[in-house]
Amino acid sequence: MSDETLRFERCLPADFRRAMKRNPLVFLPLGAVEWHGEHLPVGLDSLTAHGLCLRAASRVGGLVYPPLYYGMTGSIWHHPWTILVEEEEILLKLLELTLSRLQDCGVRKALVFTGHFAKKQLALLETLERRWAEREGSGLRLSTLSISSMPDSPMAPDHGAIFETSVLFALKPNLVNLERLPSVEEQPAEDPKGNSKGAHRRDPENVLFGILGDDPRLLDATRARQLAGQLEDWLSAEALKLD
Ligand SMILES: [Zn+2]
């Protein structure tokens, strides 16, 4: 199936009937709007979550809901072009409403997948799962996952650094603009004691300002595709566990 027919917002009634007959599953991708450095779009977390859900849905069936571009706040909330949510209840209400209407429409399984993994975002997923499980007679099975929790990930999850840059590169290479950063030779990362997540990266004068993790300029296309492939395999396998 092509992307087009997997995107919930583009479906006609007949598309819903066909998709739900094959697998009554909806993926809900979550992300955020936040600064990711000069080389990446602010919506990266939503874009990667959406792209990976589309890949998984093309394998196991189901549909992919439009990604949410609001995510819970973290320590970088004050960075430029960053809009994060303080109160968990705001997002919980939206998600519970969505799940409950999906259930009314005959959806039996939902997989919430977040590309944004601030501590508060992960706590939100836990609360959502707990509250959904406490509901009387819910006919929709829910699972929540974060891109940061894949077992045996070949790269440590990060913020705007090699991990996130690689995932977006594998999915949408035209959205990664490494040429917007000075070359490594010109301006190396210079991380004190090799710590790529230190306070220096929060200094707007730093070449890798707002990027927390290993230098994205060391991106390797093959490793990027392997990482995205592994994420796709994992997400597809987790979706099948809802059967
Ligand atoms: Zn991110």
Could you tell me the distance, in angstroms and rounded to a whole number, from the CA of residue 161 to the centre of ligand 1?
A: 9
The residues facing 34 across adjacent strands are none
Closest CA to 134 of 124, 142, 123: 142
Share of the chain above pLDDT 70, in %: 99
The average pLDDT across 119-145 equals: 95
Could you tell me the distance, in angstroms and rounded to a whole number, from the CA of residue 196 to the centre of ligand 1?
A: 15
* DSSP-assigned letters across all residues of 135-155: STT---EEEEEEGGG-TT-SS
Check the CA dihedral 6-8-9-13 and report its sign.
positive
CB 148 within 8 A of CB 117: yes
pLDDT at 3 over 80: no
pTM, two decimal places: 0.97
Could you tell me the distance, in angstroms and rounded to a whole number, from the CA of residue 227 to the centre of ligand 1?
A: 16
Q: What is the pLDDT of residues 79-103, one digit of tens each?
A: 999 999 999 999 999 999 999 999 9
From CA 81, how far away is CA 210, in angstroms rounded? 11
Could you tell me the distance, in angstroms and rounded to a whole number, from the CA of residue 56 to the centre of ligand 1?
A: 20
Average pLDDT, the chain: 96
Could you tell me the distance, in angstroms and rounded to a whole number, from the CA of residue 47 to the centre of ligand 1?
A: 10
Could you tell me the distance, in angstroms and rounded to a whole number, from the CA of residue 118 to the centre of ligand 1?
A: 9
Could you tell me the distance, in angstroms and rounded to a whole number, from the CA of residue 158 to the centre of ligand 1?
A: 7
Share of the chain above pLDDT 90, in %: 96
With bands split at pLDDT 50, 70 and 90, how would you rate the model's confidence at 5? confident
Could you tell me the distance, in angstroms and rounded to a whole number, from the CA of residue 139 to the centre of ligand 1?
A: 33
pLDDT at 1 over 90: no
Q: What is the pLDDT of residues 148-182, one digit of tens each?
A: 999 999 999 999 999 999 999 999 999 999 999 99
| The pLDDT value given to residue 4 | 78
Q: What is the pLDDT of residues 196-232, one digit of tens each?
A: 999 999 999 999 999 999 999 999 999 999 999 999 9
Could you tell me the distance, in angstroms and rounded to a whole number, from the CA of residue 57 to the centre of ligand 1?
A: 22
From CA 153, how far away is CA 171, in angstroms rounded? 17
The alpha helices in 35-146, defined as continuous H runs, are 44-60, 88-104, 119-134
Closest CA to 213 of 238, 233, 189: 189
| The pLDDT value given to residue 137 | 80
Closest CA to 37 of 171, 217, 186: 217
Residues in the chain: 243
Could you tell me the distance, in angstroms and rounded to a whole number, from the CA of residue 48 to the centre of ligand 1?
A: 9
Domains of the chain: 3-236 (3.40.50.10310)
Q: Is 27 helix (H, G, I), strand (E, B) or coil?
A: strand
Could you tell me the distance, in angstroms and rounded to a whole number, from the CA of residue 16 to the centre of ligand 1?
A: 31
Could you tell me the distance, in angstroms and rounded to a whole number, from the CA of residue 74 to the centre of ligand 1?
A: 11
From CA 25, how far away is CA 15, in angstroms rounded? 13
| The pLDDT value given to residue 14 | 95
Could you tell me the distance, in angstroms and rounded to a whole number, from the CA of residue 43 to the centre of ligand 1?
A: 8
| The pLDDT value given to residue 91 | 98
CB 113 within 8 A of CB 28: yes
| The pLDDT value given to residue 188 | 93
Could you tell me the distance, in angstroms and rounded to a whole number, from the CA of residue 189 to the centre of ligand 1?
A: 19
Q: What is the dihedral of CA 110, 115, 117, 121, to 10 degrees?
A: -40
From CA 180, how far away is CA 193, in angstroms rounded? 26
pLDDT at 2 over 80: no
Could you tell me the distance, in angstroms and rounded to a whole number, from the CA of residue 65 to the centre of ligand 1?
A: 19
* DSSP-assigned letters across all residues of 192-230: GGG-TTSGGGGSTTSTTTT-BSS-GGG--HHHHHHHHHH
